Amino acid sequence: MGKSIYKVRPSDYWRIGEHENWFEEMAAEGLHLKKLGKVFATFEKGEPKQMKYRIDISIDRKISEDQLDMYAESEWEYVTRDKFFYVFSSPVELNAPELHTDSAEQSYTIEKLDNKIAGNAFFTGVATILMIGMLSAIWFLEGTPVYVLIEGWAIQQTILAAFIGYTAYTSLRASISIRGLRKNLLEGKPINRHASWTKRDRRRSAFAVVFAIVIGLSAVIPIVQLAKNKTETLPEENIDLPIVRLADIEQNPDLIRDGPVYMDDGVDWGNRYTFKWGPFAPVQYETNEGGLVPGKMWSDGSGRYSPSVHTKVYQLTIPAMADSLITDLMKWYQYEEDKEDYVEMNHHNLDRLIVYEEADMKKIFASKGKGVIFVLYYGDADTNTIVDEIEKELFRLN
């Protein structure tokens, strides 16, 4: 028994003439087909030989013993199969007659395959359209695609949708090709058994390798996100994280932490920090922190003074994305306010600074290099104090 040689199959499986031509060229080089896989074909190394190969189609995935015997009597030996495609070979010198001498009759053997592939193309096409619709809503419904990209919610799903879309495209091409082949056979045009496979094969192989790498890498993203994501109660004392703390904003020694409002999994979600990872922002923090100053009331007399701060912190992989991220954060956190009330300010140490103030609420968006910070603060501290704290943390991110 000769040595087994594995080769990537050329072109697409439905291109019958190209496959037959490829098998014959391999046989002429001493590689004789033994098995067909999804991606690879297995050959046995031997003496170069002039062979003819023919592919017959059976949608029922089983050719009867009577039919195999009939082919054998005509000097066609069964070699292997892949799904609906049965491969037969015969040495050229035997001058075996064709499996199908009547093209019109042969066209009927692929009618069921034509219908099946068309059905596959339809369903994968519908699935692709639905997935595109759902993903478009995630990416564009709020008009914040850069924010969605940085947060990394939908990257893997989008690449998966691209794979399904590619599958739909492949099914459509298969359907069109098989239908064209059937039409040609009905018109008496035989299969082109000398169709070249080399050019299309190289292009397809290069695309398949790149696509496989992207799909493989994308599968790692949710695993890393899950492994790195953590949420913990924010300690009252300072910790070595690049986040803006309520105590630093308030600068009031009487500030204390009130009791937890909502506890889940042992985390005080009113005083918590969450670390997240994404390929475009490997360092992300989101925090909530609230406090209470005993004996102090809100300026409008509405109750005890209880300031709070919500922050989002990003260290970007690509600093050039900072401007777009700030623009999207503004859209994401803009509620009923007028856009004109968001004031862009000049700051000698920051690349970008945008401030919104309304009564006791302040929203501040700032960037420096690869760092971006958003702060939503309720309290009576002045804007400059908050900006100073943001500036300190942005320098830590760079």
Tens digit of each residue's pLDDT (9 = 90 or more) over 315-340: 999 999 999 999 999 999 998 888 88
Q: For 219, list phi and psi in degrees, rounded to 5.
A: -65, -20
What pLDDT does 355 receive? 97
Q: What CA–CA distance (Å, rounded) separates 68 from 234?
A: 74
Task: Label the pairing between strands 85-91 and 4-8.
Answer: unpaired
Q: Which residue, 315, 313, 308, 310, is CA-closest to 285?
A: 313
pLDDT tens-digit readout, 113-139: 788 888 888 888 888 899 889 999 989
Sequence-distant (≥ 6) Cβ neighbours of residue 39 within 8 angstroms? 8, 9
Task: Label the pairing between strands 281-290 and 272-278.
Answer: antiparallel
Using CA atoms, how far residue 292 sits from 257, 306, 357, in Å, is: 6, 4, 21
Using CA atoms, how far residue 156 sits from 6, 135, 318, 347, 349, in Å, is: 32, 11, 19, 38, 36
At position 196, the amino acid (one-letter code) is: S
**Neighbouring C-beta atoms of residue 378, cutoff 10 Å:** 16
Secondary structure, 3-state, 43-66: EEECCCCCEEEEEEECCCCCCCHH
Q: Which residue, 55, 57, 170, 189, is CA-closest to 111?
A: 57
Sites in the chain below the pLDDT cut of 50: none
Q: Which residue, 286, 248, 255, 288, is CA-closest to 388?
A: 248
What one-character-per-residue DSSP string does 253-303 give? TT-BPPPPS-EETTEETTSEEEEEEETTEEEEEEEEEE-B-TT-B-TTSSS
Tokens standing for residue 265: 């999994």
Sequence-distant (≥ 6) Cβ neighbours of residue 125 within 8 angstroms? 168, 171, 172
- Using DSSP, state whether 84 is helix, strand or coil: coil
Q: What CA–CA distance (Å, rounded) separates 295 from 306?
A: 11
Stated pTM of the model: 0.73
DSSP 8-state assignment for residue 15: -
- CB 45, CB 30: distance < 8 Å: yes
Sequence-distant (≥ 6) Cβ neighbours of residue 308 within 8 angstroms? 246, 270, 288, 289, 290, 291, 377, 378, 379
In which residue are the tokens 């302040």 written? 362
What pLDDT does 363 receive? 97
Classify residue 159 as exposed, middle or buried by CB count within 10 Å of its CB (0-12, 13-18, 19+). middle
Q: How many CA atoms lie within 13 A of 115 on its CB side?
A: 8
